[in-house]
Amino acid sequence: MSEAFEHHEKAHEAAHGGHSSNRRIGLMIAALAALLAISEAAGKSAQTEALNRNVEASNLWAFFQAKTIRMTTMRTAAEEVKLQIASDLSDERKAALQKQVDVWNQTAQRYDTEPETQEGRKELAARAKQAEAIRDHSLSAYHMFEYGSAAFQLAIVLASATVITGFLPLAWLSAGLGVVGTVITMIGWLAPTALHLGGH
């Protein structure tokens, strides 16, 4: 009789121990799911920023090209008129043509650099390069968040398998992947270019 009672007590303890273990694993799954949601949201934000900055850089380079064409046109016109000034023309006509050449040269110079409006070629190139740098930074962050999310997803799968199978080493592996996912996600926020995993 006492042996049956002892066996019943051990079975009861094992059942409660298993229940307690499942509860802890359930909490771990909830924490991993929350971290996954944060990583996914951060990844989407970084991806949107990268796309926006890519469009901005493309627009700025197109503007740069347009300014280059205009500047070249102005300088070519000025050079052609300079040749006319050298020919036999009246002083009045030469002065008028020189005035036009000066206007074209000033306009060409303005197309090359215009610090007041930040719309000269030099300023546009600097702005485009800055947009590209932000784009590349955001793309690196996006890749880190994607890797972090993948680690969290695998961790959730393994933790769920632990609940079903009762094989506790899977829970430890799940926790390890959760730590890896957290580290990669933090790298995405703090130093996304530290690791070159993005392949770009």
pLDDT at 89: 78
Query: Does some domain include residue 11?
Result: no
Domain around 174? 27-190
pLDDT at 94: 85
- Calpha distance 94→100 (Å, rounded): 10
Joined tokens for residue 177? 């992947």
Query: Does some domain include residue 96?
Result: yes
Query: Does some domain include residue 99?
Result: yes
- Calpha distance 70→62 (Å, rounded): 12
Count the domains in the chain: 1
pLDDT at 197: 55
Entry pTM: 0.76
Other CB atoms within 10 A of residue 21 CB: 15
Q: What is the 3-state secondary structure (H, E, C) of 83-126?
A: HHHHCCCCHHHHHHHHHHHHHHHHHHHHHHCCCCCCCCHHHHHH
- Calpha distance 68→55 (Å, rounded): 20
- Calpha distance 175→71 (Å, rounded): 62
Spans in the chain with pLDDT lower than 70: 1-19, 196-200
> Among residues 198, 195, 185, which one has the least CA distance to residue 43?
185
pLDDT at 8: 41
Query: Does some domain include residue 200?
Result: no
Amino acid code (one letter) for 69: I
Query: Does some domain include residue 16?
Result: no
Query: Does some domain include residue 138?
Result: yes
